[in-house]
Chains A and B, each alone.
Chain A
């Protein structure tokens, strides 16, 4: 497989669309009347200054927040709000801005936990850990090991993730999300706080996921270099509003975007 070209993405199916979404916390308007779509197979960046509402937008997409207005269409089904379980079952996985791993569990267990939804053997078999429960465990362990190989984290397999350095934690968190074999992967600042080398590794993983597994990715990132390199299309938020939407080149030249980033008063 290879990454779809810009033209293919422009013509591609819409995997997820948000229309007129607004979300407020008391008086704070985190997101105001935002619409955009994510097409199958693309890397869609969401950028904007601090507090622009990017994380809130992801939380709306995977059902953690319920917007006061707007609609969300995912895989052809339109809803007023997503529900976390339905989103996960439908194939939406995510990582978090400030790493939300299961700290006292090992790398392996974190990744295996990512496969909970795909494991179905009943409580009865679980208490014996034999027969179907054991073969299921082995089958999913194989997938977990593939992910571990892919992310090059074999050496930390058995270490409780709370003890790992930040960069590796981010990588394990990506692994846990990958374990869900998502159709849509939401990455909230996957490279924040990383050094150049770590950023390059992470970019490589994101690109390979997109290329080889065809995973659609929504990416929040502050590093403009990374955004311009990786993404097919970019949506720009500022103070909860969408101020631009287009290819990296278009967005880069957009007057409103330049103003927002230079902090010009509105």
Chain B
């Protein structure tokens, strides 16, 4: 009984409504935040921050975005990459048109452009579902990617066709561009992700989250209870695309430092979808677990074997990674559609009753 709520009684609804009603959970969250905000930047080297933590945070945010749409509302989208791209290009345009405003404002504001585009491509969701909707979002993916290449205004007519990130500062400290340290960029990414995760958690635990899940589980019953399907689905598209858009802007401005259209290709969409599936449909925690798994596992496979004296060709590592990831996705689809998040819950349940079997 390492982990349990014995003796923790809720005497009012407010405390029972808390997202983490159990003390150990709250302490766990506090510990994670402490490690993330203090220990990681203090002890972490450039490699950890730049190659692992920053992208992990960005992909987690995009995964939360897609999870709100696919996991919580049951609407499959293959346009995640493009919606991320809309955020990135919008941020770039805003930043170059209004250089006086702080870049963090534009990174977040870019999400609104993405949300608007998401709503537009979400309109067919009233009439079509499942695979057919996925195909509609696929059309969005290709159309938007075409725009990123063919509309030079979007990348300010750069001959390279790429968007480039200049140096921006906050209180005199560079936060984007070549002069910004990975620590600063990490802390900014972390702050954005923490706040947006908190918002997402509040949404899914309240009326709006219940409406999304109701539409996902039984749309007819939801409709007959007075939940309007189209506005509910469009809200999911808007919020989801907002998250993906901010993630896209962060990807360019806080990680890559520049990007071309093919960063936001269909591959990116699938990459995020895999994170959602492996992490767990309809789970915020799962979004982080999925992003960690899909993104960090290959890095692990690449760097750990040489350290323990095994020499594997990079190409072999690539193949192994593909095979493992593919195998895991199939495993999760068949055995545990609720992903790593559900495995974690099961483990927690076991701890709660340990040493008894139940």
A interface residues, Cβ below 8 angstroms from B? 62-64, 84-85, 87-89, 93-94, 96, 100-105, 109, 112-114, 116-117, 119, 121, 123, 126-129, 133-134, 136-138, 141-142, 145, 176, 180
Residues of B within 8 A of A133 (CB): 206
In the complex, the answer to whether A85 meets B17 with C-beta atoms within 8 Å is no
Residues of B within 8 A of A85 (CB): 223, 226, 228
From A103, which residue of chain B is reached at the shortest CB distance? Answer: B217
In the complex, the answer to whether A102 meets B202 with C-beta atoms within 8 Å is no
The answer to whether B208 has its CB under 8 Å from any CB of chain A is yes
B interface residues, Cβ below 8 angstroms from A? 13-14, 16-17, 19, 199, 202-203, 205-208, 210-211, 213-214, 216-218, 220-228, 235, 282
A96-B221, A100-B220, A104-B217 known; A126 vs B210 contact (CB < 8 Å): no
In the complex, which of the residues A103, A119, A141 contacts B13, with contact meaning CB atoms closer than 8 Å?
Answer: A141
A119-B207, A134-B17, A137-B17 known; A64 vs B221 contact (CB < 8 Å): no
In the complex, the answer to whether B202 meets A109 with C-beta atoms within 8 Å is no
In whole angstroms, what is the CA distance A121 to B213 when docked?
18
In whole angstroms, what is the CA distance A1 to B282 when docked?
44
List the 4 closest pairs (A to B, CB-CB), nearest first: A88-B226, A129-B202, A102-B217, A100-B221
A129-B205, A138-B14 known; A62 vs B211 contact (CB < 8 Å): no
In the complex, which of the residues A87, A101, A134 contacts B14, with contact meaning CB atoms closer than 8 Å?
Answer: A134
In the complex, which of the residues A64, A88, A145 contacts B220, with contact meaning CB atoms closer than 8 Å?
Answer: A64
From A88, which residue of chain B is reached at the shortest CB distance? Answer: B226
From B19, which residue of chain A is reached at the shortest CB distance? Answer: A129
Residues of B within 8 A of A119 (CB): 207
Residues of A within 8 A of B221 (CB): 96, 100-102
Residues of A within 8 A of B17 (CB): 134, 137-138, 141
In the complex, which of the residues A88, A126, A127, A129 contacts B225, with contact meaning CB atoms closer than 8 Å?
Answer: A88
* Nearest-Cβ distance from residue B255 to partner chain A, whole angstroms: 26
Residues of B within 8 A of A128 (CB): 199, 202
* Nearest-Cβ distance from residue B355 to partner chain A, whole angstroms: 24
A104-B282, A113-B214 known; A126 vs B206 contact (CB < 8 Å): yes
Known pairs A84-B224, A105-B214, A126-B202 / 18 extra A-B pairs, C-beta < 8 Å: A62-B224, A85-B226, A85-B228, A88-B226, A100-B218, A102-B216, A102-B221, A102-B222, A103-B218, A104-B213, A104-B282, A112-B210, A116-B210, A116-B211, A116-B226, A117-B226, A138-B17, A180-B225
In the complex, the answer to whether B226 meets A113 with C-beta atoms within 8 Å is no
From B218, which residue of chain A is reached at the shortest CB distance? Answer: A100
* Nearest-Cβ distance from residue B236 to partner chain A, whole angstroms: 12
Residues of A within 8 A of B228 (CB): 85
From B228, which residue of chain A is reached at the shortest CB distance? Answer: A85
In the complex, which of the residues A63, A101, A113 contacts B210, with contact meaning CB atoms closer than 8 Å?
Answer: A113
* Nearest-Cβ distance from residue B309 to partner chain A, whole angstroms: 47
In the complex, the answer to whether A138 meets B13 with C-beta atoms within 8 Å is yes
In whole angstroms, what is the CA distance A128 to B202 when docked?
6
5 interchain pairs, CB-CB under 8 A: A100-B221, A113-B222, A126-B207, A127-B203, A129-B202
In the complex, the answer to whether B213 meets A109 with C-beta atoms within 8 Å is yes
From A173, which residue of chain B is reached at the shortest CB distance? Answer: B221
In the complex, the answer to whether A127 meets B199 with C-beta atoms within 8 Å is yes
In the complex, the answer to whether A113 meets B211 with C-beta atoms within 8 Å is yes
In whole angstroms, what is the CA distance A123 to B16 when docked?
22
